[in-house]
Amino acid sequence: MRENREKRRSSRRPVAKTTRWPPFAIVHACCEGRILHNPLVASLVPSRRINKKREKQRREAAIGRRCAPRSSPLLSLRQKCEASDVAIELFCVSLHFCVMASPKKCSSDNRKFRTRHKYRGKRRRTLRKATANDDVAPDQRPDAPTSDRPNTVTEPRDSGCEIAAAVEFSERRPVDAATANTLLCEIDALTALVAGAQCPTCRERKLGVREAAGKRKGLSAFLELCCQNSDCPESALSFTHTSRRTASAGDQGTSARFDSGSSRDSFAVNVKAVLAARAIGAGHDQLSRFCAILGLPSPMHHKTFTGISKKLHGAAMTAVSKNLHQARNITKDAVGGSDVPVMFDGTWQKRGHKSHNGVGTVVSLDTGLCLDFEVLSNYCHACSIHRDLGEDEEIWRAFHLPVCQKNTDCSSHAMEPAAAVNIWQRTLSYETPLRFTSFLSDGDSKAFTAVCEANVYCDTPIDKEECTNHVAKRLGTALRKLATPLPRGEKLKDTTIIKLQTCYKIAITSNKDSVRNMYTAIWASYFHCCSSDGASSHNFCPAGPNSWCKHKRAEALGEPAPRHTPLLTKAQGLAIMPIYMRLTEKKLLIRCLHGKTQNAAESLNSKIWLLCPKTKFASRTTVETATALAVLWYNEGHRGFEKVLEGIGILPSQDLATHGDHCDVMRIRKMNLKHTAGARAHRRNTAKRARVEDTDRKSREGPSYGAGDF
């Protein structure tokens, strides 16, 4: 048996031995034409056995090519190598993979083990779950999505989730897979990469990479492949920019070459750098500091930065107009008509009610999508430094008016009503005409009054709704500004005000759709806090064993009534009663019936000032760009940044698409976790514990700070 096994082994065809050549030596030999289709090249490819028939055909073809004119791909490669180093590097990489060691042959024992345990160390493929389309004929099933990017949201959209609504109408965008591997690399590393290659002119291995002086365009450098041999007649073998130029309109689907494009077109890396700076709320100075720390030269001149910012502004406004049109169509379908309930909120670019820039946003109450926005500014730097030109004043104004940053003459307080009127007046001119007939706001400005006075919809009235959070804040503000003097030592503490404010808010949100129940619950919380052992007043408290009032609960269970620990003294209760009477008026409670809040608009405002910080002044163009990017981000997720790049002629990279999908998935996941009852209880307990610790710390330290007290 052993002899038969050795006999079979000896009868096997011998394996050809491979000769390992260095990759750059193979390149040099190929360029010289010495191994053109030589059988030795076939031995470099890792194969287990050689087919004699194919080898014979290969030899005959090689002999015929030697006699014929030399027009093989390798000869054409020789000509290309003299003009460009890119071909040399690509060929080196391909040959490097060709000469890699072939895998060793598995023994019989290993094959038997793999046959028995073919799934060992591998994850089994999960079975597909049955769906409703399994019983449908293949020709009747809906078409599969044409995009190759994964769909991040597969569950049906909740009507109150703005993120799900945004992802539902978001369309997939094309990406540029060629720009997925953009890396930061030092020039010395590139020189070390090509140092082993021979110069096609002098045949010396002294190739290097250098940056041409004076040809840098921002972050796009101009690199040259040169021979460092002083006797070499060629100064530069090849040269290229490190970035493509932006494509012209309509050419976004094609991959632009590094030497294509007009000289007036911006380089893609510079445009991406400006957009990245705007996306993190940075300007030219911050971008220059960032590049300096990385060892890069100054990215671009501030005038170039401003010019690219204007291009991004136009692309962002175009992309957001299409996004808002889609949002209005979705909202109209969700509501089932053109009368849409919305929330309106105004925000300013600077704190302290002295801002030159203001933004007004409108968000749907049903879908949570932003439907429109307005940016107002009462300042223009060119107008502020302009001096009267006399006879040429009219000419200057005619040229300056189209680019003037000032579009209103009102104060910062009046910007919110002015923005609301502008938005309501153009609702009928939408491509999808809508009427914002329900107005939810915080009540801090005259926006609702201004819209009603404008009489936009003629005889159609506009209903007013209140934000429950802001109504509860009114109680806290009124208690802190209590005009009635209290006896010494009975001043309302912050903890007491917070408890009263929380009880007031719970009474409103837990009794929706009933003004009477809301009214009763508010006064029940008031009298419950004023009750004492001598004067018990729990008539308005709910009865039953599950009541929040411990006295009514003890009464239902037949237990003795517990002792009272009144939250308010008699003097405090009488002092705050007028405030409760004002905040329990029927007109106010009717506006709180839906129990809606303005959290969605506040979330959008936070994104706007994340892209345009309030700590530094910005022009109206910058604020509009930040608002447009924030609306795209809010409505559609991170794909909004991809649309802006496409609008300026740059295909987004695969890395940007992958990052955007990941961030959108994590955003939805975090939102769902924050809406759970456990997360809400944890936030309440954390805030309560922080207040208690802060109060103990202040009482232990005593007075340590006061304006002019020390």
State the pLDDT confidence band at 237, using cuts at 50, 70 and 90. confident
Sequence-ordered list of residues with C-beta below 8 angstroms from that of 422, at least 6 positions apart, any chain: 360, 374
pLDDT of 127: 40
Check pLDDT > 80 for residue 669: yes
pLDDT of 540: 85
pLDDT of 488: 80
Check pLDDT > 50 for residue 212: yes
Between 54 and 681, the more confident residue is: 681
Q: In one letter, which amino acid is 630? A: A
Check pLDDT > 50 for residue 51: yes
- Rounded mean pLDDT of 215-230? 88
- Rounded mean pLDDT of 89-101? 39
Residue 660's nearest CA partner among 191, 238, 166, 292 is 166
Q: For tokens 């014979």, what's the residue?
A: 56
Other CB atoms within 10 Å distance of the CB of residue 199: 20
What is the residue-averaged pLDDT of the chain? Answer: 77
Residue 476's nearest CA partner among 444, 440, 502, 443 is 502
- Rounded mean pLDDT of 150-156? 38
The model's pLDDT over 523-572, given as tens digits with 9 standing for 90+, comes to 999 999 988 877 778 888 888 888 888 888 888 888 888 887 888 888 89
Residue 347's nearest CA partner among 279, 268, 445 is 445
Determine the longest span between alpha carbons in the chain, in angstroms: 121
| Lowest-confidence pick of 106-120, 187-201, 403-417, 583-597 | 106-120
Other CB atoms within 10 Å distance of the CB of residue 393: 12
Check pLDDT > 70 for residue 104: no
pLDDT of 99: 36
Check pLDDT > 60 for residue 333: yes
pLDDT of 242: 86
Check pLDDT > 90 for residue 459: no
Check pLDDT > 70 for residue 636: yes
Report residue 270 as tokens: 């510079």
DSSP structural state of residue 176: B
pLDDT of 148: 41
pLDDT of 55: 62
pLDDT of 3: 57
- Rounded mean pLDDT of 276-299? 92
List, in sequence order, every residue forming a beta bridge with 343; answer none if it has no partner.
363, 440
pLDDT of 29: 37
The b-or-e profile of 350-370 (16+ CB within 10 A means b, else e) is: beeeebbbbbbbbbbbbbbbb
Check pLDDT > 90 for residue 308: yes
Q: In one letter, which amino acid is 192? A: A
Q: In one letter, which amino acid is 154? A: T
Check pLDDT > 50 for residue 234: yes
- Rounded mean pLDDT of 2-23? 47
What is the dihedral angle through the alpha carbons of 56, 61, 67, 72, rounded to the nearest 10 degrees?
-140
State the pLDDT confidence band at 37, using cuts at 50, 70 and 90. very low
Residue 311's nearest CA partner among 267, 271, 350 is 271
Check pLDDT > 90 for residue 351: no
Sequence-ordered list of residues with C-beta below 8 angstroms from that of 109, at least 6 positions apart, any chain: none
Percent of the chain with pLDDT over 70: 72
Sequence-ordered list of residues with C-beta below 8 angstroms from that of 698, at least 6 positions apart, any chain: none
Q: H-helix or E-strand containing 90?
A: helix 85-98
DSSP-assigned states of every residue in 107-167:
PHHHHHHHHHTTTTTSPPPPPPPP-GGGGS-GGGSPPPPS--SPPS--SPPPTT-HHHHHH
Check pLDDT > 70 for residue 683: yes
The model's pLDDT over 595-612, given as tens digits with 9 standing for 90+, comes to 889 999 999 999 999 999
The b-or-e profile of 465-485 (16+ CB within 10 A means b, else e) is: bbbbbbbbbbbbebbeebeee
